[in-house]
Structure 1
Amino acid sequence: MNISFKKIFFLIIILSFYFCNNKKNYDTISHNINDSIVYYNDNIKNLSISDSLKKSLNDKVFKLNKLNTNDSIRIKNNDTIAYNYFRLNYFDDYNKVVKYNYSESLKLRDTSRIIKSTINYGHYYLRRNFYDSAFYYFDKSQKLYIANNEVDKSNELAIEKATIQYYKGDYLGSETTILKSLSFFKKKNDNFKLNAAYTIIGLCKMDLKEYDESIEYLNLALDLSKKINANNSTDPILLNNIGLVYFKKGDYKKAIEYYLQIINNTEVKTSNFQVYTFAKQFLTYSKFKLGDIKNFESEYNEVIKNYKNLNISLVQPYVQLSEIYEEKKDINKAQKLATEAYNISIKDNLFRDKLLAIKQLANVFPDKAKYYSDEYVKLNDSIATLDKKIQNTFARIEYRVDELNNENLLLAERNKQLIYYSVIGVLLLSMFYFYRWQKQKQKELLLVQEQQQANEEVYNMMINQQNQMDFVKAQEQKRISQELHDAILGKLFGARMNLDFLNNNESEEIKKEKEKYIQEIIQVEKQIRQISHELNDDQRTIINNYQMMIDKLVEEQETLLNLKIDYVFNEKIPWEKLTAEEKINLYRIFQETFHNINKYAKAKKVIFSFTLDFNKLKISILDDGIGFDAKRIAKGIGIKNMKERAKLINAIYTIESEINKGTRTQIILEINPNKEF
Structure 2
Amino acid sequence: MAKNLLRFFQKNYIAFGLVVLFIALAFTFCMQFSEAKERQIKHIKKDRSIEIKQMQKKAFSFFDSGKFDSALFYFNKTQLLCVPKEDYPDEYVESLNYMVEILQRYGNYYEAETTLIKAFPYLEKTSNIKYAVNAYTFMGYNYMYTYDYEKALYYHKKALKKAVSTFRKSRILAEIAFVYMQQKKYQKAIDLLEPIVKYKIEDKITPSKTNYQRAAILYNLGLSYLRIGNHREAAFKCFKESQDLTFTLNDDYEFISNYYAFYLYYSKYYNPKLKKLNAEKAYYYAKKAKSAINETEMLANLIEADNAENSKKYWKVYIKKVDSLAISRKTAKNQFADIIYNSRKDRDENLELKTQKAERELELERQKNHNIILYISIVLVLSTLLFLFFRLSKKGKREKNEAIYISETRISKKLDAELANDLYHTINLIKKGNLEQSENKDQLLNNLENIYSKTRNISKENSFIITDENYISELKEMISGYKTNKVNILMQGFDAVRWNQIEKNKKIILYRVLQEVFLNMKKHSEATLVSTTFKIIEKNLIVTYADNGVGTANKNFILKNGLQNVENRIKTINGTITFDRNSDKGFRLSFTFPI
Q: Shorter-chain TM-score: what band?
A: 0.3 to 0.5
TM-score, normalised to structure 2, is 0.46
TM-score, normalised to structure 1, is 0.41
Report which of the two has the higher share of helix: 1
